[in-house]
Amino acid sequence: MNAAALPASADTRNTRDTATDRGFRGLVTAAGMLVLVALGAAAFSMLWGGRAAFGKFGLGFLWSGTWDPVGQQFGALVSIYGTVVSALIAMIIAVPVSFGIAMFLTEIAPKWMRGPVGTAIELLAGIPSIIYGMWGLFVLVPVLAEHVYPWVDAHMGQWPLIGTLFAGPPLGLGMLTAGLVLAIMVIPFIASVMREVFLTVPGRLKESSYALGSTRWEVVWDVVLPYTRSAVLGGIFLGLGRALGETMAVTFVLGNAHELTASLLMPGNSIAATIANEFSEADSEMYRSSLIALGFVLFLVTFVVLAIARLMLRQLDKREGN
């Protein structure tokens, strides 16, 4: 009698469980797909929002240097130039420094020091970018304007070929300052990626090299770096992606000027800074559409850079899996 009841109840429980299982699978799959949809929708919505600007100016939007809200003429060149130049300055400073920090934290520092110093560097990554911006504007800019840029203008401004880059009035605001603040911001990101990938190098490789009489520097440069090359490049691109899209810190110290100048000491603009500064005061449809179109350009550029970064980081993962 029990034998007759048991299969029936187990059966209904089974069907119920199967149905719930199917429902749960559907739910998590939908959530996963939402991630894909989010990125696609972000791209599409900006293309849609910028359609008026793209329609009116065509591809010329990308290389026109005019930005004239009154005359309703908009071009992205000055902003793109500022974004690229400030990010490049940041990378020139940040890459060697990050490499040094990663080398210090994995090979040089005594064991007890690695944890706290690593944490401190990573805390630098957590500070909100608006704090960097405020500190840059109120603290760094006056120091640079009074003590550093006059010297840069007087000495480096005289150098042949690249002198024009460093000649200019010591305002404190401008590309070089923005590049420096960006460098401070991306150093922790690049350094922590480099540190992590350096730690994946098998100990026996390093020990073999040390056993042959290599110095620490030779181990890092000839063993660790070749082994992790693609992931290190990935980390650098990750930092570049961040530098290109960083908004608040740059907005404070760039100076918001829509002019192309050769000097790095002059105020400029970047895509993100232009959008942040002008979006709330954009009064016409075309103005707002042009700003969203700028956002679309930024999205495309960072997407490519970040995709390269992730592909390169993945190569090391694959090797580790072997």
Partner 1 sequence: MGTSPYGSRRAKNLVAQALAVLATIFGLFWLVWILWTTFSKGLGSLNLALFTQMTPPPGETGGMLNAFFGSVVMSLLGIAFGAPIGVLAGTYLAEYSQKSWIGETVRFVNDILLSAPSIVLGLFVYTLVVAQMGHFSALAGAIALAFIVLPVVVRTTDEMLRLVPSQMREAALSLGVPQWKVIVQVLYRASLPGIVTGILLALARISGETAPLLFTALNNQYWTTDILAPMANVPVVIFQYAMSPYDSWHTLAWAGAFILTLFVLVVSLAARAIVSRNKIVHD
Which of 141, 191, 197, 254 is in the footprint of partner 1 by CB under 8 A? Answer: 191
For the bound state, the minimum distance from the C-beta of residue 162 to partner 1, rounded and expressed in Å, comes to 23
Question: What is the nearest approach in angstroms of partner 1 to the Cβ of residue 28?
Answer: 4
Q: Provide the residue type at 312 as one letter.
A: M
In whole angstroms, the minimum distance from the beta carbon of 205 to partner 1 comes to 18
In the complex, the smallest distance separating the C-beta of residue 200 from partner 1, rounded to whole angstroms, is 16
Compute the least distance from the CB of residue 294 to partner 1, in Å.
9
Interaction of residue 95 with partner 1, rule CB under 8 A: no
Contact range with partner 1 by CB under 8 A, out of 68-76, 114-122, 148-156, 198-206: 114-122
Using CA atoms in the order 232, 234, 239, 245, what is the torsion angle rounded to 10 degrees?
Answer: 170
Residues of 39-73 as b/e, b for ≥16 C-beta within 10 angstroms?
eeeeeeebbebbebbbebbeeebeebeebebeeee
Given a contact cutoff of 8 angstroms between Cβ atoms, the answer to whether 142 and 172 are in contact is yes
Backbone angles phi, psi at 223, to 5 degrees: -115, -55
- Find the binder of partner 1 among 77, 84, 124, 233 (CB under 8 A): 124
Residue 159 belongs to what H/E stretch?
A: none
Stretch that binds partner 1, among 54-62, 137-145, 151-159, 260-268 (CB under 8 A): 137-145
76 binds partner 1 (CB under 8 A): no
For residue 40 the two structure tokens come to 């696609």
Task: Give yes or no for residue 92 binding partner 1 (CB under 8 A).
Answer: no
When asked if residue 199 is in the footprint of partner 1 (CB under 8 A), the reply is no
Measured CA distances, 50 to 45, 62, 214, 294, 304 (Å):
8, 13, 57, 8, 20
Helices (H), the chain: 2-49, 51-57, 77-103, 111-126, 129-135, 141-143, 149-155, 163-166, 175-199, 203-211, 216-219, 225-227, 229-245, 248-254, 271-278, 285-321
101 binds partner 1 (CB under 8 A): yes
Q: Is 165 in the site for partner 1 (CB under 8 A)?
A: no
Q: Is 31 in the site for partner 1 (CB under 8 A)?
A: yes
The per-residue DSSP string of 57-92 comes to HGGGGGT---EETTTTEE--HHHHHHHHHHHHHHHH
Q: Which stretch binds partner 1 (CB under 8 A): 66-74, 126-134, 170-178, 203-211?
A: 126-134
| Amino acid identity, position 144 | L
Q: Determine which residue in the list 4, 36, 70, 211 makes contact with partner 1, applying CB under 8 A.
A: 36
Q: Which of 35, 70, 212, 262 binds partner 1 (CB under 8 A)?
A: 35
Least gap, CB of 163 to partner 1 (angstroms): 26
**Interacting positions 246-265 with partner 1 (CB under 8 A):** 246-248, 252
Is residue 41 a contact residue for partner 1 (CB under 8 A)?
A: yes
Closer CB to partner 1, 260 or 304, in the complex:
304
- Binding residues for partner 1, total number by CB under 8 A: 89
What is the C-alpha separation between 288 and 305, in angstroms, rounded?
26
Q: Are 248 and 133 in contact (CB under 8 A)?
A: yes
